[in-house]
C-alpha cells in the first residue's frame, strides 16, 4: 500500500466487494477487455489520425515496455501535463497498466503549481508538450528539474526542436537519469525522452507475450492522483484506487447511457476528472465507444466535428454552453446525432438547460460531483423539473449523503446545509496530509464537500459553495439563485455574482455581467428586470461591472477569487479618490 494513502476500513472493503461495486479490476483490465472485444472498431479520431482498438492497445503496450526499460517502476509518481492529444491517452493508459501513478496536471498550470505537484508527490517523472499555445514547457521542466531532487525523467510529446536544449538536459545526462538501454536505443536526447521516438520503436518483439502482466498493480492500490478543486489555494492530491475509479467511470457511464454506439467529443481537458472518468474518456473506452478529440473550443471546429463524426455526447461546462446557445454557428451544421450535452464544474442555470433543449434538441445532463469521489447525475429520463432544476442524484445506491448544519447535525429535506458524503468511490483522505484530513473528513469518514445544497429524497439541489453565499448584514444571498435569474435577461450572455466588502453590511452583491455580442445593459435596466422576477429586495445586486470575458481556472470554472480581488481594489481606489 502506498505510504501516505488512507485506506477504507476493512468492513467496508468486504461490503463493497460483496455488493459488486469493487470488481478487483484495474483500469488497464477494463481497457484491455474492450481492446479484445472491439479490436478492429475505430476508437480514436484526432485530425487525420484514425485509430482502432487494436492499434491503441499496441501503442499503449509499447509505451509501457519503454517506460519500464527507462526505469519507471510500480508506485513511482509522475506528473502528467499533456494537452488533449493521442499521446495523452497512450501515456495515461501505459502508466496505469504498470502501476506508475500519474498526477493529473492541466496545461495552464505553471511553475508554482508544478513545483507543488512534484514535491508533494515525490514525482520521478514529468510529462509535457515541448511547446503548446506559445508556452515553452521544456524550459519550465528544466527549471523544475534543477530544483527538484526526486525528478529524474522528462518526457516530451511532439517533435524535437533545436531550441529544446538546456542545462537540465545536460545535468540529466551527467546524473545518468536514463538507463543505458534507452540511451543506446536512441530514445532520448541529452536526458530528454521523446514520446514519438518511443512510439516509433517496436521493442515488443524482445519480450514474451504477457510480459507486462507481472507488473499489473493490485486493484486496491492507488491508480492516479487527481487535483482538488477550488480557486483559493494550491491543489491537494486526491489518490484514487483502481477499484474505486473503475466503478466511478463504469457506473457514471451507465447513468449517461453510454454504449458501443457512443461517440464522445473531448473538448475540455482530458486530465480533469470530469473529462477523464466521470464518465468521460474511460467510460467511452469501457463501453466500446469512440472518442473524438477537438483541436480547440472554437464553435465551428466543435460543431463541424459533431456533424462529420456523428457525435452523440459532449461533456461541456457553463462558459462553453453559454457561448453555444447564444451563437448562430451551431445552426450551420447537422447536429441530429447529438443526444446528450453534459455540464460539469459548476451548476448550469435552468434557463441555459432549457435553451440547450430548444436549440440542440438534446438532453442536458447535469454532472455534479467532486474529484474526491461522489458523483450526482440527472437521469436521461428524469421528469422536466428534475432535468432543469436539480443537480442529479448519486450514481451508487450505497453513496451515503447527508445535508448538515454548522454544528454537523443533519437537516430535514428541503433545508439548506453542507453536503457530506462517503461511499465506494469517495476517498477517505488526501495524499500525505493527515492534519488537513482531520478538517476535511468527519470522524466517521464523511467527506465535507463545501457545497451548500438542499436535498429532496436522493436528488440534490445546489445553492453554491460555502464561500459563494453573500452575507448582507445577516441576510444570506445565494449567488447561484440570483445568477440564474439574471441569465433570463435577453441581453445577458453570462454572469457571476460576487461579494464586495461593505463597512455597514459586511458584504453586498456585485454582478459581473458579460453581455451578448452587440448588446449593452445598464444597472437600472438590470434591477428593473430583477424586480419583475419578484425576488426579495436584499438579494438585488448593488453594483454592476461589465466584462468582455471572465477569468477562468484550468478546469473552465469562473475564478471568483479574481473577481473579488478586482472589486475590492476598485472600491479601495474609489475610496482614496473621494476621501
Flag whether 16 is in a domain.
no
Distance CA 528, CA 515 (A): 17
426 and 559 housed in the same domain: no
Please state whether the peptide bond connecting residue 279 to the residue before it is cis, i.e. omega within 30 degrees of 0: yes
Tens-binned pLDDT, residue by residue, of the chain (579 aa): 999 999 999 999 999 999 999 999 999 999 999 999 999 999 999 999 999 999 999 999 999 999 999 999 999 999 999 999 999 999 999 999 999 999 999 998 899 889 999 999 999 999 999 999 889 999 999 999 999 999 999 999 987 764 444 444 443 343 334 444 444 444 554 569 999 999 999 999 999 999 999 999 999 999 999 998 754 467 899 999 999 999 999 999 999 999 999 999 999 999 999 999 999 999 999 999 999 999 999 999 999 999 999 999 999 998 899 899 999 999 999 999 999 999 998 889 899 999 999 999 999 999 999 999 999 999 999 999 999 999 999 999 999 999 999 899 999 999 999 999 999 999 999 999 999 999 999 999 999 998 889 999 999 999 877 767 787 876 778 788 899 999 999 999 999 999 999 877 778 999 999 999 999 999 999 999 999 988 778 889 999 999 999 998 877 788 888 999 999 999 999 988 886
Q: 425 with 563, same domain?
A: no
Q: Dihedral sign for Cα 237, 243, 248, 250, please.
A: positive
Give the other-Cβ count within 10 Å of 532's Cβ: 10
Question: Does residue 195 sit within a domain?
Answer: yes
> How many whole angstroms separate alpha carbon 80 and alpha carbon 566?
32
User: Quick check: is 140 in a domain?
Assistant: yes
Residue 253 and residue 171 share a domain = no
Co-location of 548 and 454 in the same domain = no
For residue 106, which of 124, 120, 88, 86 has the smallest C-alpha distance? 88
Strand partners, 129: 157
- Whole-angstrom Cα distance, residue 569 to residue 310? 48
Which helix (H) or strand (E) segment is 307 a member of? helix 299-309
- CB–CB of 183/69 below 8 Å? no
Residues 232 and 161 in one domain: no
The phi and psi torsions of 475 (rounded to 5 degrees) equal -90, 125
Is 65 part of a structural domain of the chain? yes
Q: Which of 415, 448, 466 is the last residue of a domain?
A: 466
Indicate whether 4 belongs to any domain.
no
- Based on the fold, state whether residues 205 and 251 are members of the same structural domain: no
Quick check: is 14 in a domain? no
**Residue 445's CATH number:** 3.40.50.12780
Question: Domain for residue 21, yes or no?
Answer: no
pTM for this predicted structure = 0.83
Q: How far is CA 199 from CA 58, 255, 377, in A?
A: 10, 35, 38
> Across the strands, what pairs with 226?
238
Strands 469-472, 417-422: pairing is unpaired
**33 and 164 together in one domain:** yes
Domain span holding position 316? 227-466
The b/e string for 344-375 (b: 16+ C-beta within 10 A; e otherwise) is bbbbbbbbbbbbbbebbebbbbbbbbbbbbbb
The answer on 58 and 142 residing in a single domain is yes
Taking the alpha carbons at both ends of the chain, their separation in whole angstroms is: 62
C-alpha count within 13 angstroms, C-beta hemisphere, residue 406: 1
Residue 95 CA to chain centroid, in angstroms? 19
- Say which CATH number the domain at 119 has: 3.40.50.980
3-class secondary-structure state, position 423: coil
- Do 377 and 233 fall within a single domain? yes
Distance separating alpha carbons of residues 349 and 499, to the nearest angstrom: 19
Per the structure, the count of domains in the chain is 3
Write the DSSP string, 235-258: PPEEEEEHHHHHHHHHHHHHHTT-
Tell me how far the alpha carbon of residue 572 is from its chain's centroid: 35
Residues 43 and 183 occupy one common structural domain = yes
d(CA 95, CA 123): 13
- Out of 170, 200, 218, a domain closes at 218
Which of 426, 443, 466 terminates a domain? The answer is: 466
Q: Are residues 459 and 494 in the same domain?
A: no
CATH number at residue 519: 3.30.300.30
Q: Are residues 341 and 374 in the same domain?
A: yes
- Is 10 among the domain residues? no
Amino acid at each position: 500500500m502506498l505510504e501516505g494513502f488512507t485506506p477504507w476500513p476493512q468492513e467496508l472493503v468486504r461490503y463493497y466487494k460483496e455488493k459488486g461495486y469493487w470488481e478487483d479490476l484495474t483500469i488497464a483490465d477494463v481497457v484491455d477487455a474492450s481492446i479484445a472485444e472491439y479490436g478492429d472498431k475505430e476508437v480514436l479520431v484526432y485530425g487525420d489520425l484514425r485509430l482502432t482498438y487494436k492499434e491503441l492497445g499496441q501503442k499503449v503496450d509499447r509505451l509501457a515496455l519503454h517506460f519500464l526499460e527507462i526505469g519507471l517502476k510500480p508506485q513511482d509518481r509522475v506528473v502528467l501535463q499533456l494537452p488533449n492529444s493521442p499521446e495523452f491517452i497512450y501515456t495515461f493508459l501505459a502508466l496505469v497498466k504498470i502501476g506508475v501513478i500519474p498526477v493529473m496536471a492541466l496545461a495552464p498550470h505553471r511553475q508554482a503549481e508544478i513545483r507543488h505537484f512534484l514535491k508533494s508527490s515525490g514525482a520521478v517523472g514529468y510529462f509535457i508538450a515541448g511547446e503548446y499555445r506559445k508556452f515553452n514547457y521544456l524550459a519550465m521542466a528544466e527549471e523544475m528539474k534543477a530544483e527538484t531532487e526526486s525528478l529524474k525523467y522528462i518526457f516530451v510529446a511532439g517533435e524535437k526542436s533545436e531550441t529544446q536544449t538546456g542545462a537540465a538536459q545536460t545535468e540529466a545526462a551527467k546524473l545518468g537519469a536514463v538507463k543505458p538501454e534507452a540511451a543506446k536505443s536512441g530514445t532520448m536526447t541529452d536526458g530528454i525522452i521523446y514520446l514519438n521516438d518511443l512510439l516509433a520503436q517496436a521493442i515488443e518483439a524482445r519480450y514474451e507475450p504477457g510480459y507486462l502482466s507481472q507488473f499489473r498493480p493490485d486493484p486496491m492500490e492507488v491508480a492516479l492522483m487527481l487535483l482538488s478543486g477550488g480557486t483559493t489555494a494550491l491543489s491537494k492530491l486526491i489518490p484514487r484506487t483502481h477499484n474505486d475509479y473503475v466503478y466511478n467511470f463504469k457506473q457514471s457511464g451507465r447513468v449517461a447511457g453510454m454504449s458501443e454506439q457512443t461517440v464522445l467529443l473531448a473538448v475540455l481537458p482530458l486530465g480533469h476528472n470530469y473529462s477523464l472518468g466521470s464518465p468521460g474518456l474511460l467510460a467511452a473506452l469501457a463501453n466500446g465507444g469512440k472518442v473524438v478529440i477537438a483541436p480547440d473550443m472554437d464553435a465551428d471546429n466543435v460543431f463541424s466535428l459533431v456533424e462529420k463524426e456523428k457525435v452523440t455526447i459532449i461533456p461541456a461546462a457553463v462558459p462553453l454552453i453559454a457561448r453555444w446557445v447564444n451563437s448562430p454557428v451551431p445552426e450551420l451544421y447537422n447536429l441530429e446525432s447529438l443526444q446528450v450535452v453534459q455540464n460539469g464544474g459548476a451548476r448550469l442555470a435552468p434557463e441555459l438547460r432549457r435553451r440547450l433543449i430548444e436549440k440542440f434538441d438534446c438532453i442536458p445532463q447535469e454532472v455534479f460531483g467532486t474529484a474526491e469521489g461522489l458523483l450526482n447525475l440527472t437521469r436521461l429520463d428524469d421528469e422536466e423539473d428534475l432535468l432543469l432544476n436539480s443537480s442529479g442524484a448519486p450514481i451508487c445506491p450505497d453513496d451515503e449523503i447527508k445535508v448538515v448544519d454548522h454544528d454537523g447535525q443533519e437537516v430535514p429535506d428541503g433545508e439548506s446545509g453542507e453536503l457530506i458524503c462517503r461511499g465506494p468511490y469517495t476517498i477517505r483522505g488526501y495524499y500525505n496530509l493527515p492534519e488537513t484530513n482531520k478538517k476535511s473528513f468527519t470522524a466517521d469518514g464523511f467527506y465535507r464537500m463545501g457545497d451548500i445544497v438542499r436535498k429532496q429524497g436522493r436528488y440534490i439541489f445546489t445553492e453554491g459553495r460555502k464561500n459563494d453565499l453573500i452575507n448582507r448584514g445577516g441576510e444570506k444571498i445565494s449567488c447561484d439563485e440570483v445568477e440564474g435569474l439574471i441569465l433570463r435577461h435577453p441581453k445577458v450572455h453570462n454572469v457571476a455574482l460576487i461579494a464586495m466588502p461593505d463597512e455597514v453590511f459586511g458584504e453586498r452583491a456585485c454582478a459581473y455581467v458579460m453581455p451578448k455580442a452587440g448588446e449593452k445593459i445598464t444597472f437600472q435596466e438590470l434591477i428593473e428586470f430583477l424586480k419583475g422576477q419578484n425576488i426579495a429586495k436584499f438579494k438585488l445586486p448593488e453594483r454592476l461591472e461589465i466584462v468582455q470575458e471572465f477569468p477562468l481556472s484550468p478546469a473552465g470554472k469562473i475564478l471568483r477569487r479574481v473577481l473579488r480581488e478586482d472589486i475590492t481594489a476598485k472600491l479601495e481606489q474609489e475610496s482614496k479618490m473621494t476621501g
